[in-house]
A and B are shown apart, each in its own frame.
Chain A
Amino acid sequence: MNALKLHKKLEENNALLIFGILLVSSLGGLVQVLPSVYQESLRTPEANTRPYSALELAGRDIYISEGCSTCHSQQIRSLVAEVERYGPYSRAGEFVYDRPFLWGSKRTGPDLHRVGGKYSDDWHRIHLVDPRSVVPTSIMPGYPWLAEKDLRSDDIQAKLRGLRSLGHPYSDEEIENAPAQLEGRKQIDALIAYLQMLGTGFVEPESGAGDSSE
């Protein structure tokens, strides 16, 4: 039976065609994606990587909600120029508490993976509300409403509990105290807390050799 005859069967049978498409299209995923989902090294945190605090998590969710990742990547590629510009390249272990990942696909603005600690809280506060007051040529939109809107605290326990069920190590006490961390704060406070901890999950080992950025 030659191949065309076999194919004649396929193209005259609805169910066989459906099955054939499903089989052929799922091979790539099974061989390439599935092993990665079970790869232990991709879910092992770096030594300094910790879960987000309640305030940082709330800030991260604002970053997500405002679509910051449409213009800012969080992924420093292992290239000399990138490491010089932004700092140590990104390690898989730094992202184990990131649901979803926020690596982005476009840098209209600069990469933010190691932005934590680069600017003061006050700088961020002014910059987020009116970017052009500190960077005159910036094309980033302003976010004045973040400084006005109160931070929600009624959903934070559900969020932390959800993440705990996915394996993030939050204690009962942390979940208990979470709303108190958020109360009375503005949305911009949470976002700044998140920005300031970005990229701090990895600390370069003191090598003494001096050339450790590669």
Chain B
Amino acid sequence: MSSEMTTQPQYYHDEIVKRLVQFSVAWAVLAMAAGVFVAAELLWPTLDMGQPWLSFGRLRPLHTNGIIFGFGVSALMATAFYSVQRTSHVPLFAPKLAWFLCYAWQLLVLSGGLSLLAGMNTTKEYAELEWPFDIAIALLWVSFGIVFFGTISRRKIRPIYISNWFYGALIIVIAMLHIVNNLELPVTWTKSYSLYAGAQDAIVQWWYGHNAVGFLLTGGFLGMLYYFLPKHAGRPIWSYKLSVVAFWAFTYSYIWAGPHHLHYNAIPEWVQSLGMVMSLVLLAPSWATLINGVMTVSSAWEKLKTDPALKFIVLSLAFYGLATFEGPMMAIRSVNVVSHFTDWTIGHVHSGALGWNAMITYGTFYYLMPRLVGTELYSKRLANVHFWLALAGTMLYIIAMWAAGVSQGLLWLSLDETGELAFGFRDIMSSMAPYYGLRLLAGLIFLGGTLLMAYNFYMTTRSRKTVKVEPPVVDPAFGVV
């Protein structure tokens, strides 16, 4: 059918997808290794050997930025490009721009990471990069949007599939958040001052910070879920209507929840209360998606025995449910009194980042890689070992940080019978070493699994080229007239 219109066969641009997957895996290894190193520094503070660039304060933002923008965004671009072509039945729009984006983004993450090590740091969390990088991010993000929405606008299928809405929301909302939060006045090439000051800067920053988690780490990866889960399970999404409702409820309510990062801080109380209430409301759309996902796989449980990729995705759903439940609980002011400023927050972030983001990405990559190179996965057994390492690492991490955080929070607040503080800060801090040791072990286990995956992919792709795939014929009933 399509051959009537074009004389030359059209192929999906999957080389770009493969390259982005490879970059994403490389960033996962590097940024997780940085995480393991900073975890070790909390046990042995002289590990930095007096080198400024190895110091905790400079490496920690490298860890978070490497994971979010290196590992996470590369994975999101790869999967968005893969799925938008297939759900639109057309090759990527502006493939040259897509290739440019693929490499320019890596260069940006690399040079941005080096700038953090050099001490260029705005300190606004997940927006630490200085103003020249902020401009570059904005420009590259726009090209991401052009490729993505350009492909959709040339689609041969009338409805825009649900996964594309989530990827679309990722592109649009992150652009808005990034630009507004990074409004700053450059004073030198390496230094700028925020246009907002003090409490106002805090409110804007956590509107950004919370929704970077919301629309990138949650929304973007939900796009991945809505395409790859049904593909894996071999059946359509359980309820399309529910996904419609969940999408709009999610997009509307997530944006309000930021101020729960500032409970009992010097910002207006109504802003805190509103942030708390909306964080609780957020539980509904989050779990609507969870139910939709679980019901979709619920008739394909037998596949779990044989498919390590699906195991990762199903487990990621469990951690998604856990993290999206824990989040609203921590947003309740009386709970937040204990959890704020403690390692509990770190544990919560990692139940999302390791349990949800990394697992669903790993599952998706195990699905993608063999298909992209047209061969079987090098070793299913290694993938299964990776699965158990990932699960063990994540569980140990969460438990260690939860125990550390809850005890910190309670001990900081405890008063003796005379109303005096019961414990000194130093005593509480030095009692954390066992938990930090467990956390380091957990990080090593998780990193070990990731290395196995990298090796598995290397052996799978060795000396093979990406397979060319033609867009399939469109059913006229769904086609664009």
Q: How far is the CA of A163 from the CA of B159 in the complex (A)?
A: 51
**Residue in contact with A166 in the complex, picked from B124, B188, B193, CB distance below 8 Å:** B193
Q: How far is the CA of A112 from the CA of B141 in the complex (A)?
A: 37
Q: Interface-forming stretch among B42-50, B288-296, B378-386?
A: B42-50
**Residue in contact with A14 in the complex, picked from B125, B149, B251, CB distance below 8 Å:** B149
Contact present for A143 and B200 (CB under 8 Å): no
Q: How far is the CA of A91 from the CA of B266 in the complex (A)?
A: 5
Is B300 on the interface with A (CB-CB < 8 A)? no
**Residue in contact with A84 in the complex, picked from B153, B346, B421, CB distance below 8 Å:** B421
Is A169 on the interface with B (CB-CB < 8 A)? no
Q: How far is the CA of A166 from the CA of B152 in the complex (A)?
A: 43
User: Interface readout for A9-21 with B: 1 if CB under 8 Å, 0 if not?
Assistant: 0011010011001
A12-66 residues with Cβ-Cβ distance < 8 A to B are 12, 14, 17-18, 21-22, 24-29, 32-33, 36-37, 39, 42-43, 61, 64-66
Using known A-B contacts A79-B264, A97-B197, A106-B341, determine if residue A65 contacts B121 with beta carbons closer than 8 Å.
Answer: yes
Is A118 on the interface with B (CB-CB < 8 A)? no
Contact present for A137 and B255 (CB under 8 Å): no
**Distance to closest chain B CB from A180 (angstroms):** 19
Using known A-B contacts A85-B412, A110-B425, determine if residue A100 contacts B55 with beta carbons closer than 8 Å.
Answer: no
Is A177 on the interface with B (CB-CB < 8 A)? no
Contact present for A32 and B271 (CB under 8 Å): yes
Is B122 on the interface with A (CB-CB < 8 A)? yes
Is A184 on the interface with B (CB-CB < 8 A)? no
Using known A-B contacts A61-B191, A95-B199, determine if residue A28 contacts B255 with beta carbons closer than 8 Å.
Answer: yes
**Distance to closest chain A CB from B247 (angstroms):** 9
Contact present for A107 and B341 (CB under 8 Å): yes
Minimum CB distance partner of B256 in chain A: A28
Q: How far is the CA of A92 from the CA of B196 in the complex (A)?
A: 13
Contact present for B255 and A29 (CB under 8 Å): yes
**Distance to closest chain B CB from A162 (angstroms):** 4
Using known A-B contacts A36-B268, A64-B122, A141-B55, determine if residue A135 contacts B426 with beta carbons closer than 8 Å.
Answer: yes
Chain A CB within 10 Å — which of B187, B258, B268 has the most?
A: B187
**Distance to closest chain A CB from B284 (angstroms):** 15
Contact present for A42 and B425 (CB under 8 Å): no
Name the A residues within 8 Å of B10 (CB-CB): none
Contact present for B195 and A166 (CB under 8 Å): yes
Contact present for A142 and B152 (CB under 8 Å): no
Name the B residues within 8 Å of A111 (CB-CB): 341
User: Interface readout for B335-363 with A: 1 if CB under 8 Å, 0 if not?
Assistant: 00100111101100000000000000000
Q: Tell me how many residues of A have a C-beta within 8 Å of chain B.
A: 84
Is B70 on the interface with A (CB-CB < 8 A)? no
Contact present for B160 and A12 (CB under 8 Å): yes
Contact present for A18 and B172 (CB under 8 Å): yes
Name the A residues within 8 Å of B207 (CB-CB): 28-29, 32-33
Name the A residues within 8 Å of B120 (CB-CB): 65
Contact present for B173 and A25 (CB under 8 Å): yes
Q: Which 6 A-B pairs have the closest CB atoms?
A: A67-B57, A95-B198, A28-B255, A77-B264, A162-B187, A65-B119
Q: Which residues of B contact A (CB under 8 A)?
A: 41-43, 45-46, 48, 50, 52, 55-58, 60-61, 119-125, 149, 152-153, 158-160, 165, 168-169, 172-173, 176, 180, 185-188, 191, 193-205, 207, 215, 241, 244, 248, 251-256, 258-259, 261-268, 271, 274-275, 278, 337, 340-343, 345-346, 408, 412-415, 420-421, 425-426, 429-430
Q: Which residues of A contact B (CB under 8 A)?
A: 4, 7-8, 11-12, 14, 17-18, 21-22, 24-29, 32-33, 36-37, 39, 42-43, 61, 64-71, 73, 75, 77-82, 84-85, 89-92, 94-111, 131-132, 135, 137-145, 155, 158-159, 161-163, 165-166
Show 15 residue pairs from A and B whose CB-CB distance is below 8 angstroms, ordered by the A residue.
A17-B165, A26-B255, A33-B258, A42-B267, A43-B197, A65-B120, A81-B421, A91-B266, A95-B198, A100-B122, A101-B194, A107-B342, A107-B408, A141-B45, A161-B187
